[in-house]
Structure 1
């Protein structure tokens, strides 16, 4: 009884409005838990997956627009096109840290849905651009609009799913990225064949995709929940089960109404934060260049502009295949998340070598190389699952997520600068920079694996093996305002 009173006092102190008694009293059967999990999967994964589909589609559209004379119509020259990618990620970067604070203070579902609505409107504004300067302004604010989405979805995944369930669910909504790569060229191909002389086809791309994105923001506003206790698609007892399911995560799923600066300091002094951030930066050196210049590189293999759009589809197919294999491996093979990320990165290094070193007349070989070169991108959901599983404390998690995405932005800003206009379309300097980034990424992932292994063994020596504790004790950890470095029973997942 004393424990329950302590817990009630903790609940009142932290301002949570759910009924503690429901969480403590619920005795769910395995079938009831599976039913709740099915509901979560049926609602959350499609909602987040389609939003991420639109986000990556909207990133690809600039590269596709170059095949419809965007650069010529806006009188772009030299390396100006490279800077359109950099300014997008500068906007992303500028809002990442403020967003990590705002996302804790505001209802997360509403905040993300409004962000989607705004970014769709900004994408439509691209069609009004008549100069390089105007395009730069539009790209900056598009980056601001998109900055909250992936970190926000990472936090939602951590709220609703157990640690062992998270890699598959992170990958499931990231699957929208793969579908965007697979279908993006086909969609651009179809829009490019609109029979109209009213405006340039690249403007149609921005208008149609932007309007679709804003409309979807309205859908998210009504259906994307702010927390398990506010999920309108769950019954009252199912919400209690949803909360109880994730208590063993000890990662602060209930601690989402107040930003804690002590957790921010903990994040900045945690080695895992910097290994994750440096991995994100170095792998993004490749991402910024390949994403921005993929259509131009493919056209440089000797294909027509429209065929180059269609040849983006195998890149999405490769991502789908390797994402599926990685999901299976990380789900059924213990301690395989970071190892899988290392292997995926090595595949991409091989692909870049093929693009760089094969004879320019070898269209098939270089196309295969470019297809393999994008496999590293599927590491993103696995990396996010590491954050949601291994970072405790909602405020700390939001800061670590922001730092990972800040590193992602900086890498995407720097990467395209190595793709020199004088070297179009083969970009040998850009290829070498991309490969160097991926090799460094492998090194940081290996260091992270060693750190987690060392820390788990150290805690086992000091505190003994992690023990199964009561629901009340699990809830007390959730409300303790502690981070992963402060909870003695916390062990990192590799």
Structure 2
């Protein structure tokens, strides 16, 4: 139970106290709540979506640079190109755990803004690379810079939106990823037609890096640390924003102090490890496909710049399935994990087309490559599972870090199956990617079974859920309890 002091005041991540009693005294109308929700959707989601667009655009730049002679200019040979991808995710891995601690201790909006600014600078440094060693250093620090972004946005979504609202909002800012896949080739195509003395691959890194750093400055003014200090909300709207999410019982206000007991809870929670194993398995595919997609596409018979444009259908496929999946998860009960399984099956079918079709079947193999990336839209659904089903800000932060560590390890291992001797078809890599996705389906089914079993067990032990007062919801928010400790908590499927 929260004590009397907790119910009177609390401290937000910036260190400012706010009056809980004042928040509870606000009597908002449905129209006022809808107005706040509209503001969040119109301002917060585009802020995060644009940052995620830039992140994936920057991530794609290395693959696209191979079509502008990056490998030849830096004298990369053998498996060295594969290692440039692996070291990026090692940097991601290296900073994921420290970031889970820092992101709780620091004002999250300011921290993420600084991270975006710095990673843009690191991307620009890629243009100064003259050797494999220099590129490895740049890729490592780019991974460090990008490690906090998606986990941070996941936590922000949990702060500002109810559990029912989260799937479509997680998908909304992840939509930036899909747009990057769709128009990223067009941007690279345009850069490829710039005449000048600077190599096109260097221009790509300089232009994208400068844009990213400039956007980091914009975020520093607009991205909030919590609902309490969102500059685009009026004081009464901030109180309404907090009230809206009390029913989540997932620790919206439980921040500013890292709780080691919640970290231990994360390490012993079966749902967390099933999410982690699923992340590792699916990213065995992601690491290889993302890194080698330009080379694979060129291997289908397209010239270098045309190979860039032929990657656009991948973005279109992601957008179509992202919209269908996010709507299904919003309006169909217990659809999240089932939707993830179906998306993964679609990607397996796509990889089979690439693997089995004759090289002369150019259109069929391009369709296969477009479908093969559909699994990627499971990432925002995984985020929504964490924000909806894991209570406690510190536990949520640690769980997100573990998921992204698995994400990094999968992305480091996956490219190693794409053997230089098998370029450009990479049959071993394609089969390894398929194996990872099949394992992903297995872990997702286990997660679904676990949630069903645990909810039924809680109903037997604690009884069916009953309506609780706003005060009781607040007590759960400030109790420092995790989802396994709150008796009224039920997992969403």
**Same structural fold, with TM-score higher than 0.5 when normalized by the shorter chain:** yes
**Structure 1: 5+ residue stretches without partners:** none
Q: Quick one: distance in 1 between partners of 2:159 and 2:102?
A: 17
CA distance in 2, matches of 1:466, 1:114: 43
Partner of 1:378: 377
Q: Deviation at 1:40?
A: 0.7
- 2:209 match: 210
Aligned position for 2:288: 289
Aligned to 1:327: 326
- C-alpha displacement at 1:13, in angstroms? 12
CA contact (8 A) 1:61 1:205 kept: yes
Name 1:484's counterpart in structure 2: 483
Secondary structure, in 3 states, of the residue corresponding to 1:186?
helix
In the alignment, the residues of structure 1 paired with residue 85 and residue 467 of structure 2 have an alpha-carbon distance, to the nearest angstrom, of 49
Matched, 1:89 2:85: no
Deviation track 1:363-400 (CA, whole Å, cap 9, x = no partner) reads 00000000000000000000100000000000000000
Distance 1:269 1:257 in 2: 23
Q: Report how far residue 81 of structure 1 moved.
A: 0.2
Matches within 5 A, 1:22-421: 22-196=22-196, 198-421=197-420
Q: Alpha-carbon deviations, 1:395-440, whole Å to 9, x = none?
A: 0000000000000000000000000000000000000000000000
String of CA shifts for 1:93-144, please: whole Å, max 9, x gaps: 0000000000000000000000000000000000000000000000000000
Distance 1:46 1:86 in 2: 30
- The answer to whether the 8 Å contact 1:161/1:245 transfers is yes
Residue 3 of structure 1: how far off its partner (Å): 8.9
CA distance in 2, matches of 1:26, 1:469: 18
Cα deviation for residue 16 of structure 1 reads 6.5
- Give 1:65 deviation, angstroms: 0.2
Q: CA deviation at 1:8?
A: 2.9
Cα distance in 2, alignment partners of residues 284 and 228 from structure 1: 33
Separation in structure 1 between the aligned mates of residue 27 and residue 462 of structure 2, nearest angstrom: 30
Structure 2 vs 1, CA of residues 324 and 274 (structure 1 numbering), >3 Å: closer, same or farther? Answer: same
Q: Which structure 2 residue ranges, 5 or more long, are not aligned?
A: none
Distance 1:189 1:394 in 2: 43
Superposition TM-score, scaled by structure 2 size? 0.98
Deviation of residue 12 (structure 1)?
7.6
Question: Do the aligned partners of 2:283 and 2:410 also contact (CA within 8 Å) in 1?
Answer: yes
> C-alpha root-mean-square deviation of aligned residues, in Å?
1.4
Q: CA deviation at 1:26?
A: 1.0
CA 1:4 to 1:137, structure 2 compared with 1: closer, same or farther past 3 Å? closer
Contact 2:82–2:416 (Cα < 8 Å) also in 1: yes
**Paired residues of 2:12 and 2:18 also in contact (CA < 8 A):** no
In 1: Cα distance, 2:486 partner to 2:23 partner = 21
Taking structure 1 as the reference length, what is the TM-score of the superposition? 0.98
Q: 1:80 to 1:390 in 2, by over 3 A?
A: same
Q: Contact 1:297–1:426 at 8 Å: present in 2 too? A: yes
Q: C-alpha separation between the residues in 1 aligned to 2:390 and 2:266?
A: 9
User: Equivalents in 2 of 1:269, 1:438: separation in Å?
Assistant: 25
Aligned to 1:424: 423
Q: Would the aligned equivalents of 1:10 and 1:479 in 2 still touch at CA under 8 Å?
A: no
How far, CA to CA, are the matches of 1:452 and 1:318 in structure 2?
A: 30
CA shift digits 1:299-356 (9 cap, x unpaired):
0001101110001100000000000000111011000000000000000000000001
Q: How many residues matched? A: 492
Shift of 1:9: 5.8
- d(CA) in 2 for partners of 1:321, 1:235: 36
Instruction: Provide the C-alpha distance between the structure 2 equivalents of 1:158 and 1:315, rounded to a whole number of angstroms.
Output: 29
Q: Distance in 2 between matches of 1:202 and 1:476?
A: 55
